[in-house]
Amino acid sequence: MHALIAPLVLILERWQGYPPRLLDQIGHPVIWMGNLLTWLEQRLWKDGQSAEQRRTRGIIALAALLGATLVVTVMVQQVLRGIPLGWVLEILLATPFLAQKELGRAVQAVADALLTSLEAGREAVSHIVGRDPQQLDSAGVSRAAIETLAESTSDGVVAPWFWLVLLGLPGIALYKAINTADSMIGYHNARYADYGWAAARLDDLVNLVPARLTAVLVTIASFFVSGASPSRAWRAAKRDAMQHRSPNSGWPEASFAGALGFSLGGPRSYDGEMVDLPIMGQGETRLGPYHITRALTLYRVTLNVLLVVSSLLALLILAA
């Protein structure tokens, strides 16, 4: 059943996204997860704790988040599977955990803003990246937008779809809970080096297959995008991905860079601290709005390839 509804979830979310009115009225599941994590941190974090104590309490916070997510989604799925047309409601409930529409909109906003001014571009990109936007020139803003687009193709689209196919509504919700925990408390700074250890490591684990699958999908999509190169995409992924400090992020970034003939990665500033990341791909470095538009074209074709794959999988299951 999970694989059968997956293509419909992809279609609905890409077409409709998450309605802004619904966001204003009740928020979003990711916001609820974030609020629970914040509440847990306020009660579990104490100054003066040892590294082992912080790590243990971070594990407790993550377990509480995942336990709550699992209980709620399993109960909901069981109820829906027992009522007529419950699968329709299941599709509706799964769509908020994908980000096809919003990701494309947010990255397009950066390209549009850069056409207005560098300051407008910095403001637009600040909504989708964690690095310091004021340190970026036009090429840096463009690289940041494309890198986010590539990485989020994996953890915002392919990975949630993958876990939906495997485990249904609980799978996609649990994945998003892990990803949210990694974004909030994964060891990105000294405060969370121990407290966020479990969240970061589990996020690495659940993205191992989706990240590499994303590189495959991008490579296939490159056959259908003018000027893109499938051979460069896969060659860059194999050559550069494992140089990234993340075991997963390099796969989508390198495949995008190779396919489009860009160079991504390199030095960047986070909270005033310079971080020197390896280069993904070999090619154009002076990127601008036009290059963001090219990356968005590759992104949309990659979504089409994913939909075809998901639909074929559903048909195979129906025919079995």
pLDDT of residue 271: 57
Are 69 and 174 contacting, i.e. CB atoms less than 8 angstroms apart?
yes
Per-10-residue mean pLDDT for the chain, 320 residues long? 91 94 94 96 91 95 98 95 91 96 97 96 92 87 95 97 97 97 86 93 97 98 97 96 92 97 78 70 92 98 98 92
Give me 62's structure tokens: 């993550």
Residues in Cβ contact with 229 at an 8 Å cutoff, skipping those fewer than 6 apart: 222, 258, 259, 261
Question: Does an H or E element contain 38, and which?
Answer: helix 29-44
Give me 201's structure tokens: 């490591």
Q: Please state, as a whole number, how many other Cβ atoms lie within 10 Å of the Cβ of residue 265.
A: 22
Per-residue pLDDT reduced to its tens digit, 241-266:
999 989 999 999 999 999 999 999 87
pLDDT of residue 15: 95
